[in-house]
Structure 1
Amino acid sequence: MTGETDAQLVARVRRGERAAAEALAQRWLRACRAVALAVTRDEADADDVCQDAFVNAIQRIDDCRNPERFGPWLMQIARNRGHDHLRARARPVLSLEGMEIESGAVSPQREAERDDERTRLLAAMDELTEERREVLLLHDLEGWTHREIAERMGLPPGTVRSHLHHARRRMRTLLPELEEGEE
């Protein structure tokens, strides 16, 4: 990945350099998807929302008033697109279609167990507020620090820590088997 700052990449995108847009996409794809998943609660929808957010951001790159904060700007576009997507559907639906299962040599029984685990996990995450889901996904799935999440979401770091604590506590309550597997 390029060592350029977001502001440098945005400047290159504004000059029409496709490679710079690809570098931004590569840098922010996982985080954008995590935000979209926190809003939509559906992997296929999150993929669609994330792609739509990237296309929209690149098309409107001149609207990015603070290029060094491209990431937070993109995350806000993803949040808005996710909410638009949910409104258009009129009701959020949990779908397991399109989820990828790693390892081609999985037994049908193990695949069914994974589907069941995935269903329970997504249902439990559905019990969290959108903000707590987003913090949990960005921290535990993407490995972002409290400070990075706070900057990206516009929250104080203490609030991020609190959201993470409460999200984890709620997940442990809803999925007690997660604690057993950590021992």
Structure 2
Amino acid sequence: MSETASTSDAYLVRKAQAGDSQAFGVLVSRYMRAAYAVGLSVTGHHGDAEDAAQEAFMVALARLDDCRNPDRFAGWLLAIVRNRARNLVRREVLRDTDVLPETAAARGRTPEKEAEHAELQERLEKALQRLPEVQREIVLLHDLEGWKHREIAERLGIPSGTVRSHLHFARKSLRQDADLAQVVVEQVKDDGNMTDIGNVRAGGGSRRLKIKVG
């Protein structure tokens, strides 16, 4: 049986526990972006989020036999990510602001537009950091990574209704945040119920974070 996107986590974990490196590689591909989002929710810094995700996968591989319930691999992995991210935060309380690698010219922006974009990016990151950690994690998994309520509930081990509640209050806080309220946000053309509130670094690239406005 080839390891594809439809292969269950449990099957892949058992194969990896038996020494199949390809199976573990599929798990890495499947959950790297989610691991990054969780790392970002804790650290608020894309470099540290990437480090936390990568370290977590190394720890997971070394301790794979400790994953007693392969069906819940994702929740087990994300708990490791949280711990690694918290360790990074404790080690680096002070850090310099990271600079996105893309240039204004490469994105076709004028200096004025680039300044507006940088301001929105900074305010978005500050607004996200003011959310409680669990709300920050859920809004990033749902609105950035596209996970469904049920998937988040299963991975985090909480009721689906709790996920919906956290997501509701996180979005409400972001809409009302003083930093974001000072910036005129653009409406996403293909979905009138969503507001584009800026870029968030994700897995080596930059992705748009959108929240519901209605």
Same fold (TM over 0.5): yes
Of Structure 1 and Structure 2, the greater helix share is in 1
Distance 1:2 1:163 in 2: 29
Q: Name which structure has the greater RCO, CA cutoff 8 Å, separation 6+.
A: 1
The change in CA–CA distance for 1:102 and 1:44 in structure 2 (over 3 A counts) is farther
- 1:149-168: CA deviation from partner (whole Å, max 9, x where unpaired): 11111222221111111111
* 1:132 matched to 2:135: yes
Compare 55-64 and 173-182 and name the one that shifted more. 173-182
- Map 1:1-183 → 2, pairs under 5 A: 1-89=4-92, 91=93, 93=95, 95-98=97-100, 104-107=106-109, 109=111, 110-174=113-177, 175-176=180-181, 180-182=185-187
Instruction: Provide the TM-score with structure 1 as the length reference.
Output: 0.89
Alignment RMSD, CA only?
Answer: 2.2
- Count of residue correspondences: 182
Contact 1:34 / 1:137 at 8 angstroms: preserved in 2? yes
Partners of 2:15 and 2:153 in 1: CA distance: 27
Identity in percent: 43
Deviations along 1:62-120, whole A, 9 cap, x unmatched? 1111111111100000011111111122x264733356579934335133332221111
How far does residue 12 in structure 1 lie from its aligned partner after superposition? Answer: 1.5
Return the structure number with greater strand share: 2
Contact 1:33 1:46 in 2 (8 A): yes
TM-score by length of structure 2 reads 0.77
Runs of 4+ that moved beyond 6 A: none
Q: 1:177 to 1:99 in 2, by over 3 A?
A: farther
Whichever residue aligns with residue 127 of structure 2, its letter is: A
Residue 140 to residue 177, structure 1, CA distance change in 2 (3 Å):
farther
